Structure 1
């Protein structure tokens, strides 16, 4: 996998309360990923970018939400997120990732 594809697969970390609890308790990290990314591509991208060993990858499609606006109904954009389980003793520090 080339360097350009890595940055197209991983769009960024998805930081929520639930994602923080998963990182602390189960050693799982959540990323927003491209809609055409496969589990194998996500695994290789995380391993190459952060120098960690990935055990498993779960992918979730988050549906778009309907919102009421001044001009009628509109829709937010949906996205895809990946939950990455790391090996025992591995961790990702997003502050040091740059």
Structure 2
């Protein structure tokens, strides 16, 4: 399969949307930052400050803007994946 580059304009629009919905910070991580994004890959995003009431709507709207599925991680939720992401240096801030 061919490697696909992330659309920086679409990512910027998705980040702006997440900020409008209440996020205070937006990050991208995973294959989109490592050059391994493939056709059909999802985009891994992480946010701080996003109200729980808009979480699922945010995923849907961001996916529409990016043209692919979105995996959205809430960095305010102290789960093992959040602890890993914060410690690993893998997060790339986009807003």
TM-score by length of 2: 0.34
Larger relative CO (CA 8 A, sep 6+): 1 or 2? 2
More helix, by proportion: 2
Which protein shows a greater Rg?
Answer: 1
